[in-house]
Amino acid sequence: MSRTLVITLAFVAGWVDAGSFVGLHHIMAAHITGNLVILAAVTATGFQATDILKIAILPVFFAGVMAVTVIHDRYIAVHDDPARHIRGMLIIEAALIAGTGALGLIATLAGWTLGFWLALIVATPVTLGMALQNAIHRFYPIVGPATTVMTGNITQFCIDRTRGLTGRASRSLIDDMPKDETLTPILILAFGLGCVLGALATVRVGNGAFLAPAALVLGVVPFTRRVEKAG
């Protein structure tokens, strides 16, 4: 496992989640189930037309995971080269996130208002990209712990620190949790920093800011070679 790879993916997930929340009617493209909580909240406090996007984005994510599974199983996994598989999937993810960045930039420059349909079009590529990132961890556990949701990592971090204070050793018993205790706080910080910078960038320049995490994903592709060596 390459620490650089998994840390960068955590940063990207944080950026995408905060960026989509700020720039795309409060949806969460990475932590997709968070949309259910927000949807319930707005239903109770005052549902608006744009809140339909929180419903529409769910089947987009589900369809993305299903499509990735079919493409992976039929065309990617047939080659006996896991590192090559991961590289290809990351390149596709980068292209999808960049698609939202490009569409967002065009909308901003044209002065278009993001109504429901336009927001859905802009949000779809990055949501599919996050579906792919989630799937990568499931297909290839060697990549490392989950990067799109930090709740489990934060829980494990608190368990480890608590046991450490009492002089007891602590190690996660779940396969998709970090085995290296020094990695957990870094992932949490990377995700948090991504959230802050993603929100600030989206406020400043609009949804064109999604081009930045797309470039980061593309830039981390070479680190999959370390994944191959680790496997």
Q: What does the pLDDT look like over 123-167, one tens digit per residue?
A: 999 999 999 999 998 898 888 888 887 877 788 778 877 888 888
- Residue 2: pLDDT band with limits 50, 70, 90: confident
Return the CATH number of the domain spanning residue range 3-143+192-230: 1.20.1250
Would you list the domain boundaries of the chain?
A: 3-143+192-230
What is the C-alpha to C-alpha distance for residues 6 and 218, in angstroms, rounded to an integer?
13
The overall pTM is greater than 0.95: no
Nearest residue to 90 via CA among 17, 144, 147, 9: 9
In this prediction, residue 230 has a pLDDT band, given cuts at 50, 70 and 90, of very low
pLDDT tens per residue across span 158-191: 887 788 888 877 666 665 555 667 888 899 999 9
Residue 71: is its pLDDT beyond 60? yes
Question: Residues near 49 by Cβ (< 8 Å), separated by ≥ 6?
Answer: 116
Where residue 20 falls among pLDDT bands split at 50, 70, 90? very high
Of all residues in the chain, the percent with pLDDT exceeding 70 is 92
pLDDT tens digits, 32-63: 888 888 888 888 888 887 789 999 999 999 99
pLDDT over 90 for what percent of the chain? Answer: 55
